[in-house]
Structure 1
Amino acid sequence: MKVMIVVLPALGHLFPVVPLAWALRAAGHEVLVATSDGAVNAAIRAGLPVVDAAPGVDIAATVFGQGQGTKEERARTLRERGKKIAEAGATTPDLVFERFARVCALMAGETLKAARDWRPDLVVYSRLQGAGLLVAAALGIPAVEHGFNFVAEPGFAGRYLPHLAETFDRNGVPRREPYVQPLHVAPPELMIGGGEGWPVRYVPYNAGGELPPWLFEPARRPRVLVTLGTVVPKMAGLDGLAPLLAAAEETDAEFVLALGGQAEPGALGPLPANVREAAWLPLHTALARCAAIVHHGGSGTTLTALAAGVPQLVLPHGADQYINAGVVSGGGFGLSREPEAAGQKELAELLDDGPIRAAARAVARRLRDLPPPAALVPRLEGLAAAGG
């Protein structure tokens, strides 16, 4: 079986699909990734063959305005859009469809060209990557919508298609909805929206990285990982961490500030003595040696923390982060605060050996009950053989 994996040009969309790609290859199937921008090198580092579907295009700058306007303007816009997305709940707002349809338009031609040459039997695409729908419709093969967060929106592909009409027309593909099978990466009780899908265990993949020796030393105090992921530092800067770091100085804990290579060392100025900067750390490995995490609410970070069973303090900045923050706080396995409102009280609650920690451990056990990606391979084989 040949499986084409079509993902948006962002680590948060590529990383969740990597374990399934590995499972398919381990079962003897061929895999080809189509993505662009920084996700191309990330796919290569994951050991996967990849096609650059938009060579030479800086999609973050072209579509999302990364680097345009002041840092304060970008942070404000990011937050406003994030709150609109959260207000819509499981119903994707048109503004999201419109923006991601522009990404798909840039990637569609090369993706379809590669697909017609390679002739896959099945397409797996990251949610919002309309080029996957285009390939499935053009080749008459089934598609698998690989989720990356907690949204299970009924009729999602059908709602997306009108926004992709121009891309379909330009590439000579009839505007028809292919057979789509959603995959959900969280337990059904945590999914929002009621859409049906196959549940699959979220297996954290955060790329490789050299682990510093101090990470393996027994922590004399509780260790807290702090991160804003890879997108927020570029879009909004690091100012959202200032109140948290001020509170850290008064907290009896060790803080590890993992900026993922998205900021120069010292970018936040002098740090408290109990705050240590780190470069890229494989998040799931680091969390195994931490008592808690403070983060921006990115889907991959949130799900990785769930899998690790550690309490979370979420400081949402935009995108779907407010939705993820609501799942964390509503499920009782963490807290959610606006970045400027995170203080010593929240850190103390996060580190307490109480109900939040117990709930975090319980949800980690629940995640382990879900079938791993390898268990889905026979179902995908059947889907490809049946043609949908």
Structure 2
Amino acid sequence: MRVLFTVIPEKTIFLSMVPLAWALRTAGHEVRFACQPSFAPVVTQAGLTAVPVGRDSDVFRMARRDPDGLEAARVGLHAPWDTAEDPSKARWEPMLNGYYDAVEKGHKPENFPMIAGLVEFARHWRPDLVLWDPLTYAGPIAATATGAAHARLLFGADVFGVARAHFLRLKAGRPAGERADHLADWLGGYARKYGAEFTESMTTGHFTIDQFPRSLQIEAPELAYLRMQFVPYNGTATVPGWLWSRPARPRVALTMGLTATDLFDGYTIGAQDVLDALGELDIEVVATLADAERAKLHRVPDNARLLPFVPLHALAPTCAAVIHHAGPGTLGTVARYGVPQLSIPYSFDEPLLARKLAAHGAGLELGHTGATGAAIRDAVQRLLNEPRFTARAAALRDETLALPTPNQLVPRLEELTARHRTGAPHDHR
């Protein structure tokens, strides 16, 4: 079958999609990755076939000119997804306004540059299955235009699907004339443009592929989920020689991810303060710091090794603990190797994932406002000295590895594609 992936130009999201793309490719299926033109080299660097569609855009360009706007984007102000974990927060007016902001300030500028080109390519190539991340609504639009089966491929917690379920319940309880739905209206307009009608599957897919174990995830009861192992892909990677040998002292990694410096204005913790405090411990610290953050440092403790990048799937298995920002890719990678984690979340699904991890017992959570060097040092000492964290991290690893691999999921995708594929509603060729 023909499988079309599509993603907004966000590298960390793309990296989470690569293992399944390769699983489908090695199973003999044709795979294409549609993206904005400037993002094509990121796709081809992963050995996949890119299809540049539409034009380039940078949704953070304007926000970078406005510090308040940049902070709003970072914390997800006015988005409806903060209701996902706590249904008591789901109230009609805030959610309605949140969806308006999400569509107008996020989904439209992120997706509009791609939609026409993606639909044009999909009509030419006729995919059987379209796989899209939860922010790339150009995917279900193209699938609807061509009658392809389509599914969301989650990159983290399903705050999108659960929040949508809360909103639909509130909507159903509203009077008949007061059921505005900005997301459905936007997607429905495109569906009609391309000869179809809106269905709720355009918001959440015919089904959803979830890369996290149940203990770290939230779900909407109304949706169909397929679970799959999170298999880390870190991009082009070289394993340095110092990773070949067992460390002489407990190794602790510090990584705050790519997004903080690629899209925003830096880390939410003081790297100097943290390194100074960790320098007091009899450990080896491996810190992957972006150049901009490293330039802020005045000194480096003797027990610290600073690098711009180390492939986390090679580093994590050598560690006794990992300190990170609770980004899904980082947290999922460390979980796969049974290593205790200290999460310092900031926004979006990071706080939820950090709480889930701590509740599982595989690590500790520390709010970013209280993440001083001393607090981080004390938390690391607990992770190293209390055996229960290692035991629970091993349990989380076992739960992860018990899920189907991307390769094992392929036959199920074939079945669901045959069930949901309908063919084009109209042939415009």
TM-score normalised by the chain length of structure 2: 0.80
How big is the shift at 1:86?
A: 4.2
Q: Where does 1:131-150 land on structure 2 (aligned, <5 Å)? A: 131-150=138-157
The corresponding residue for 1:68 is: 65
| Aligned-residue offset at 1:90 | 7.2
Matched, 1:269 2:298: yes
Alignment map for 1:1-388 (pairs within 5 Å): 1-36=1-36, 39-62=39-62, 65=63, 67-70=64-67, 74-75=70-71, 78-79=74-75, 81=77, 85-89=81-85, 94=99, 95-102=101-108, 103-151=110-158, 153=161, 156=164, 162-163=182-183, 165-166=185-186, 169=189, 172-173=193-194, 174-177=196-199, 178=201, 180-195=206-221, 196-234=224-262, 235-238=264-267, 240-242=269-271, 243-259=273-289, 261=290, 263=292, 265-342=294-371, 343=375, 344-388=377-421
| d(CA) in 1 for partners of 2:37, 2:236 | 19
Which whole-Å CA distance do the structure 1 matches of 2:245 and 2:229 have between them? 30
Q: Structure 1 residues 365 and 115 mapped into 2: Cα distance closer, same or farther (>3 Å)?
A: same
Residue pair 1:86, 1:323 contacting (<8 A) in 2 also: no
- Relative distance call for 1:265 and 1:54 in structure 2 (3 A) is farther
Q: Distance in 1 between matches of 2:50 and 2:128?
A: 17
CA-CA distance at 1:303 after TM superposition: 0.9
Q: Return the alpha-carbon distance in structure 2 between the equivalents of residues 277 and 10 of structure 1.
A: 25
Residue identity in the other structure for 2:404: P
How far apart, in 2, do the equivalents of 1:163 and 1:262 lie? 39
Cα deviation, residue 79, structure 1? 4.0
Deviations along 1:160-209, whole A, 9 cap, x unmatched?
Answer: 98426446636823442256111111223432134430111111111122
In 2, the alpha carbon distance for the partners of 1:278 and 1:25 equals 33
Q: Deviations over 1:229-267 (max 9, x none)?
A: 1111241313513342232121221111113x5636434
SS in structure 1 at match of 2:398: helix
CA distance in 2, matches of 1:253, 1:182: 41
Residue 69 of structure 1, CA deviation: 3.4
Q: Identity, % of aligned pairs?
A: 30
Name the CA distance, whole Å, in 2 between partners of 1:249 and 1:76. 34
Cα distance change of structure 1 residues 220 and 26 upon mapping to structure 2, 3 Å threshold:
same
- 1:130/1:164 contact within 8 Å kept: no
Taking only aligned residues, the RMSD between alpha carbons, in angstroms, comes to: 2.9
Cα offset, 1:384, TM superposition: 2.3
Contact map agreement 1:230 1:262 (CA 8 A) in 2 = no
1:91-150, CA deviations, whole angstroms, 9 ceiling, x for partnerless residues? 795244554312122221222122112111111111221111101111112111111113
TM-superposed CA distance for 1:269, in Å, is 3.4
Distance 2:36 2:270 in 1: 30
3-state SS of paired residue (2:276): helix
Cα 1:301–1:245 shift into 2, 3 Å: same
CA contact (8 A) 2:157 2:349 kept: no
Residues 193 and 167 of structure 1: CA distance in aligned 2, closer, same or farther (over 3 Å) = closer
Matched pairs, number: 383
The residue identity in structure 2 corresponding to 1:229 is: G
SS at match of 1:51: strand
The one-letter code sitting in structure 2 at the alignment partner of 1:288 is P
5+ long unaligned stretches in structure 1: none
- The alpha-carbon deviation at position 370 of structure 1 amounts to 0.5
Q: Distance in 2 between matches of 1:211 and 1:269?
A: 28
CA distance, structure 2, for counterparts of residue 155 and residue 73 of structure 1: 23
Distance 1:101 1:203, change over 3 A: same
Larger radius of gyration: 2
2:33 and 2:50 in contact (8 A); partners too: yes
Supply the distance in 2 between the matched residues of 1:101 and 1:269 (Cα, whole angstroms): 41
Deviation larger for 315-324 or 266-275: 266-275
